[in-house]
């Protein structure tokens, strides 16, 4: 039962598709009530458990207003997953400041504001909240044409550590999940190329590029009582990619 989230209430940003949607399903299956979030225009009007907000614009007010809506709709919220993020990049010499700034706003600044607002609410009410922030293997490994994304996810790594140090004494637990290459709406176009998919499978010790569901269990674990003494950690869900320096191409590889 230590992995159960029964009786808990969660809010998950960026949870109408991809990894966030898989997280929401897993958290709900573990017993929690889940309030989801999506960008305006990306949600089904019939979904009454979805809040809309564009977290890449209007900060800090847009994020603060979103938390206000969460509290009004679900005042019992004691679990928070900041998953909303994106990849927007160009080759470094052509990378515009606006693209870099938009990436940092959504991937770093919005979770900073959301966690701060939720933590203030929890501290006032002596709630032992639990937070998971979605990072990436790119917070530790770099790729060409990923300067903005890699920088933002490296900042998320540091944010998880720093928030943990600040909030653990308040009874609030902060950790992160860092996916490797996962098949999502953002990555699917590249993975449709068989050569690209084979190359990425070769660079992953497990030899797989999985569906987003693999991130659900890790999220449930970090939110659950089973992770009670785990603070400030970034759990990599990457099939071992981050620990393999460089695979040798097999004989006849092309």
Radius of gyration from C-alpha coordinates of the chain: 18
Q: Which of 11, 109, 112, 149 is catalytic?
A: 149
Integer Cα distance of 9 and 28 in angstroms:
9
- Sign of the Cα pseudo-torsion (99, 152, 12, 166, in order): negative
In this structure, are residues 223 and 188 in contact, taking their beta carbons and an 8 Å threshold? no
87 classed as catalytic: no
Which of 101, 103, 61, 64 has the alpha carbon at shortest distance from 84? 103
Burial, 37: exposed, middle or buried (Cβ in 10 Å; 0-12, 13-18, 19+)?
Answer: buried
The residues annotated as belonging to the active site are 149
């Amino acid at each position: 039962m230590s992995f159960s989230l029964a009786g808990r209430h969660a809010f998950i940003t960026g949870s109408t598709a991809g990894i966030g949607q898989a997280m929401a399903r897993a958290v709900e299956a573990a017993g929690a009530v889940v309030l989801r979030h999506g960008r305006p225009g990306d949600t089904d009007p019939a979904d009454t458990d979805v809040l809309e907000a564009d977290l890449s614009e209007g900060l800090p007010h847009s994020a603060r207003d979103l938390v206000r809506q969460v509290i009004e709709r679900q005042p019992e919220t004691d679990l928070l997953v900041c998953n909303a993020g994106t990849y927007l990049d160009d080759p470094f010499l052509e990378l515009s400041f606006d693209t870099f700034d938009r990436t940092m706003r959504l991937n770093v600044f919005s979770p900073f504001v959301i966690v701060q607002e939720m933590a203030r609410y929890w501290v006032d009410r002596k709630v032992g909240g639990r937070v998971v922030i979605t990072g990436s293997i790119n917070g530790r490994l770099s790729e060409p044409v990923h300067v903005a994304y890699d920088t933002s996810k490296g900042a998320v790594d540091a944010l998880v550590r720093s928030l943990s140090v600040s909030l653990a004494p308040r009874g609030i637990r902060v950790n992160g999940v860092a996916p490797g290459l996962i098949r999502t709406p953002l990555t699917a176009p590249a993975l449709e190329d068989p050569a690209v998919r084979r190359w990425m499978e070769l660079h992953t010790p497990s030899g797989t590029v999985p569906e987003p569901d693999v991130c659900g269990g890790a999220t449930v674990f970090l939110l659950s009582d089973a992770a009670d003494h785990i603070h400030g950690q970034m759990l990599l869900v990457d099939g071992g990619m981050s620990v393999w320096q460089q695979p040798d191409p097999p004989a006849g590889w092309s």
